[in-house]
Amino acid sequence: MFEYALSLFPFGGLPWILAGYSQSGYGPVLQIADVTGIYGVSFLILASGTALVWLVCSRGSRKAAWAPVLAAVLLTGGALAYGRRSLEKWNAVPAAFRVAMLQGNISADDPESAVAAMFRTGYVRMADTLQPGEADLLVLPESPSPASFEVDDAYRRTFEALSGRYAFGLIYNGIRYEETPQGSEYFNSAVFLGRGGAPTAVYDKIHLVPFGEYIPLARILSFAETITRDAGHFSPGRDIRVADLGGHPANAVICFEAVFPDLVRRFVRKGSRLIVNLTNDAWYGDSAAPYQHLAIARVRAVENRRYLLRATNSGISAIVEPSGRIQTATGLFREDVCRGSFGFVEAQTFYTRYGDVFVFLCAIIAFACWLMAECRRAAFRKRQLPEG
């Protein structure tokens, strides 16, 4: 329940280092996430650890001390059995289409001319390394953008020409603006360009990064702008948008939106059969964070049983299969092309349909146990009171 609270508070939450993510590389345990979400995996780990600590502290002197250990063994055994059966099923999902994701490795410290060159000629040069028919879809990552698709003709023509090479077109990230009665609003957006070069769908990022893309409680925390010089003034998107990708429903989530299980689930619940994650992990530098971010994204694929295409500016770009297995991945801080295959999955998991039922069930059980304990304590105190 504490981990669930991290997905809500403060400032929209940041459920980054949850216990369950430690199992992202161990497939059999991870598979229960399609029922319980990541919180069920965390529960299994913490319940097993707690049972062992309880046994050690009790020194095995009471038979009751072994009950939690037995329960943990049964839960773990059940999870492993379920996981092995699930891996047999989900490792066999067809991948009939091909994707290429361009990892430009643009640095925030690069001069504007170098950034503009990558967008106008660099991505074209990288796409030219692909053989004709090698990819059905081209994906560009979230990265510093030098211009606007709406107003820069050269920039727009470049992307329109690129999208025309691929059956499913092109997905890219950019800054979109919109005029409103209150003034201009800016959005961090994922744009789906069809093969004809016209946008078929635009998704505006809903969950913005606090102190990065906006200042929360701006009137109260206005001083933060003087501390966080790079803080943007983006507006959050309003819609869970599912795009048409060559006749198949798909969606994009931008950057750290992938760490929010319920947000990703809502796209799939609405009909998406493919998850595309556009992100820029260059901000993390040479640290553990890019690896952690990939581990988190892997769980979203398992929870919803979808292929997840992760296009990253600086790495790690990867194709994650519905079982959570990494089909292919790039390295960090290098210009590269991530190639691989993917498919569209129609079936919806228990977690996709019903969300965090497991968490609420745990909360109800915990409250009931607390209430029973309080009733017993009250009854005991009453018995201790002298008569009369």
Residues marked active site are found at: 142, 205, 255
- The H-or-E segment that residue 253 falls in is strand 248-254
Dihedral sign, Cα of residue 140, residue 260, residue 296, residue 344:
negative
Q: How far apart are CA 332 and CA 339, in angstroms?
A: 16
Q: How far apart are CA 67 and CA 63, in angstroms?
A: 7
CA 216 to chain CA mean position, Å: 22
SS3 148: coil
**Do 141 and 317 touch, CB atoms closer than 8 A?**
yes
Q: How far apart are CA 346 and CA 11, in angstroms?
A: 34
Tell which residue, 276, 169, 255, 270, has the closest CA to residue 205. Answer: 255
CB burial string 91-113: b at 16+ within 10 A, e below: eebebebbbbbbbbbbeeeeeee
SS3 335: coil
Tokens 């030219």, located at residue: 128
Which strands form 336-342's sheet, in the order they lie side by side? 199-204, 183-193, 170-180, 137-139, 97-103, 336-342
- Residues 6 or more apart whose Cβ sits within 8 Å of residue 194: 163, 169, 200
- The H-or-E segment that residue 275 falls in is strand 275-279
Q: Specify the length of the chain in residues.
A: 388
8-state DSSP, 387: P
Structure tokens given for 290: 């890019």
